[in-house]
Each structure stands twice: as C-alpha cells, then as structure tokens.
Amino acid sequence: MKQMKLRATIGAVLAGNLLACVFAPAAMASSHREAPFITGAPKVDATDFYMFRSYQTGRSEFTTLIANYIPLQDAYGGPNYFAMDPNALYEIHIDNNGDAKEDVTFQFRFASTNKDFQFTVGGKQVSSPLVINGGAITEPNAAGSTVRETFTVNVVRGDRRTGTRGSVTNATGGSATFDKPVDNIGNKAIPNYEAYAAKHVFSAMIPGCSVPARIFVGQRKDPFAVNLGETFDLINIKAPAVEFDANAEKGARDDLARKNVTSIEMEVATSCLLHASAADPVIGGWTTASMRQGRLLNPVPKTTTDAAKEGGAWTQVSRLGMPLVNEVVIGLKDKNKFNSSKPSGDAQFADYVTNPTLPALVELLYSGAGVKAPTNFPRGDLVATFLTGITGVNKPKTVTAAEMLRLNTSIAPTAVGSQMRLGVVAGDNAGFPNGRRPGDDVVDIALRVVMGKLCTINIGCVPADAPSGAIRFTDGAFLDETSFTAGFPYLKSPIPGSPQM
C-alpha cells in the first residue's frame, strides 16, 4: 500500500529528488561512506566483503575472506597515507549453523611504531619529517621505512566478546606479530611493489586448525567498479533494454579505477570454518569494525601516539555482509543503526527488504521506457537473496533470517576463464549471491535482482510478478574476473603515487 501511494503521488521532479537521495555519495560504491557517522571515521569504514571458495589452482579446499577498509584512497595521499586505526578492532565473523550468531571470529588489531629516522644536520641529530620513507623499501620492516605498521590476529570461537580465544601465529618462527607493507608511495621508494607486497603473504597457524592458513593485510587496487558520477546524476545512463548491448554494459567509466583500499585477507581451510558436526556446508559471513566508547583529547601531545586516550567498551560502528544493503536498501534514518547492529537483530529491518523503495523509484525514473517494478509483496525473492539464502544454492538447512553473505562450500569453485560475472543469475552457482568473488559484478546483479530477475527463474516469485525482470539493468561500469589475479591475494597491486599516469 505504501508503494502504491508513492507511485500515485510523486511527480517527476520529486522522483528525481528522491533518486538523488538514494544514490547520494557513494551510494552505489558498495559500502564507501554509506552512513552519516562513518563518513567521519574512514579508518573503520568497511567498503567491501568477499567470501568464496578459492579458485587458485590447487587451493579449492580453502575459503578466501577479504574485508576492505578505508575508502577512496588517492595513491598520492601522503605524507601520512592510509594506516589502519590502532585504537580500533576489525573483525570477520562466520556463522556456521544458521542461527545468525557468530561461531568463529577473526579479530585484527594494528600498531604503528615511529622509528624516529634522523638526519645529521650541522652536527645535530634531527628527526625526519617524512612519515613513511627515508630510503628504498624492498623488505618487511625495511631500514628505509620510518614507520613500522604491524598487526595481530586472534580467533574467537563462540560469542565475539566472551568466547574462547587464541592467537594466530606465523607458521615460520611462531611469532604472533605480522608486518603490514607500507602503501604504494611510488616507484622510486618501492621499485617493485608487487614483489615487496608478496613478502607480506604469511603462512599462519590458527588454533584449532591443523592446516596452515594464508594471511595478507595491505593496500590494494580498489576491486569495486561503479559508474559513480552518472549514477549520482539521477542514474543518467543509457536506458535499460532486454537485448544485450555491449555499449551499455561496457561503455561507462569506472570512477574507482584510480582508487585504492586497504585489504584484510585470509585464506582458511574450509573445514576449519564449518561446524564441528559438518552437518551443513553453508556458512554465513560479515565484517565489522568497533571503536572504544570514550575518547579524551590531549591538549599537549608529545609523541605520535598520545594525541588522544581511548577507553571503555567496544562499540560497533561498521557492518558489512551483502554489498549495497546499507546504501540502497536501508532507510537513511536507520543507516547508523544498521552499522551498529548484529544479524540476530535484523527483524527490525525486514520491511526494507520485503517492501523496498528502490524498484518504485527506478520505475518512476524510467516510466517513459515502460519499466515496471515487481508486484509481489512481500518480496520473497529479496528475502532469499539477502536474508536466508536461495533454496538449492546457499540456504542453510536451518536458518534465522539475517543479512550476511552466505556461501555453500560444497559447490566447487568455477575455474578462471569460466566464471560468469553475473553469478547465479547467469547459471554460475559459484558466484554471487552464493558468496562473492572479486569478479562478480554486483552492481548489475543487484539492479537486476531488485527489479525481479529471480522471478523470471521462479526463485521466490513467478515471472508474472516482474514485468521488467528480463531487462538487462546496468550501470555501464563493466567488471569480470579479468580484472583480478588468478590466486591469493587476488586483488591487484595498488595504484602507485608516482610516477603520475
């Protein structure tokens, strides 16, 4: 009823204004600056989350988890660049029994050490003003690096705050501290960034798991692709059509093509993520970031680490599972609330999924092209996509409806060269929304799903419910597996700050 009233009363001008709100910066950038509070805390802003059966040759028994943070990094963004927040807690959660509660959590904490690189000037030792580099950097903790950024990883089984925890350690030497590479300053400071970054891929032992995992944390090229500018401009793209149009699907600019992010990546033996009974191969996953409740600013800081004192309980400020949910599904008034919530409480957001506003707005904008929003309410197809998993694809045997990525680990990965960028809707069940691979074009998939694509294949609805379900909605920023490497850490090297390209 609410959507029928919306369609009946909103004129063309008001429709444009509503669309401007829905696609406000960066509404379609998966999760870049998606909620009011998080725009002021970029170090804890999760941008994308990936979870997929590893498709690197010989690694199919592993699952890769990738959580990206710190959006819209310009490669030239010195002198401080983009260190993680040492006062924050970054987490990747796994639900392996369908109850919408974490069963396995990987917790990452970061530390930054100023090595106080000094020059002798006129007979005096004077500290360098350069924040990152004082010479060529080719090794972890290189002498030419003035700051050393490290991290630790804990695994928690059960509740993230009260469960049993243990330290993840380097399989070589047993250290619980890992080095993070400095950002890609430029080719003079770091002559071969990919070779340098590869030295930060660690074999690691996880308590309770006999098979070594692989861990990498560092800057990468932003893997997301979206035509931001024209999307913000009332979806000012080529009108959608049923027929394939290469110019429409490949002809727009990817506005993140020159942006970097910081990636937390793990490749874990799938058996280590499943429930001990191994009764269900479907796992759910999401990432969060938390900050301390209290902060006291120091009026006279004397070091690089004492500008503020933080304390109190952890407070969750970022949450990300499925892409685009907080951007184009959750209402503006609830975006901060969603970021602070847990999947077990998602019943409070159900109306945004069962009665979504986006399809009605797309219908209004493209009414001249005959576009019609789906008519099935509640939207069972979107409940399956976002909240429960799809029957026969990635729905757990028992499930509490909750928003998270869900991956059926019994479905074999699709080899490089055969992956379909539209995942399940294109017949590739190893792709989104069965987990998410880097090459899954989730913008195009999400646009088509919200407009009823699943109805055309009888998932949660029938073809008659989606008059425009066969239309090939696209933002025009093309993405597929060729934009990524064939193995861990999968995401490409970050754009260098120098030389300018």
pLDDT in tens, 404-449: 999 999 999 999 999 999 999 999 999 999 999 999 999 999 989 9
The residue with tokens 């069962």 is 354
What kind and span of H or E run contains 448? helix 442-450
Which of the residue ranges 106-110, 246-250, 253-257, 431-435 would you say has the lowest mean pLDDT?
246-250
Sheet containing 62-74: give its strands across.
46-53, 62-74, 259-269, 213-221, 202-205, 169-170
Q: What's the rounded Cα separation, in Å, for the pair 53 and 61?
A: 7
Q: Side chain identity at 233, as an amino acid letter?
A: D
Q: What's the rounded Cα separation, in Å, for the pair 276 and 208?
A: 11
Mean pLDDT of 102-121: 92
The full set of domain ranges for the chain reads 38-465
Residue 33 has pLDDT above 70, yes or no: no
ω into 396 cis (within 30 of 0): no
Token output for 55:
């498709």
Query: Residue 85's pLDDT is what?
Result: 94
Phi, psi of 133 (to 5 degrees): -125, 140
Q: Structure pTM?
A: 0.91
Residue 182 has pLDDT above 90, yes or no: yes
Q: Three-state secondary structure along 315-368?
A: EEEEEECCCCHHHHCCCHHHHHHHHCCCHHHHHHHHHHHHCCCHHHHHHHHCHH
Q: 10 Å Cβ neighbour count for 13?
A: 8
Residue 153: beta bridge partners? 108
- Whether 139 contacts 186, CB under 8 Å: no
Q: Within a 13 Å sphere around the CA of 390, how many CA atoms are in the beta-carbon half?
A: 24
pLDDT tens readout for residues 456-490: 999 999 999 999 999 998 888 899 999 999 999 99
Mean pLDDT of 230-258: 71
pLDDT tens readout for residues 315-358: 999 999 999 888 778 888 888 998 999 999 999 999 999 999 88
Query: Residue 145's pLDDT is what?
Result: 85
Residue 22 has pLDDT above 60, yes or no: no
Q: 10 Å Cβ neighbour count for 307?
A: 12
358-365 and 2-9 helices, crossing angle to 10°: 20
- What is the pLDDT confidence band of residue 2, given thresholds at 50, 70 and 90? very low
The residue with tokens 């469960």 is 163
The CA dihedral of 190, 192, 195, 198, to the nearest 10 degrees, is 40
Token output for 349:
């957001």
Residue 205: beta bridge partners? 169
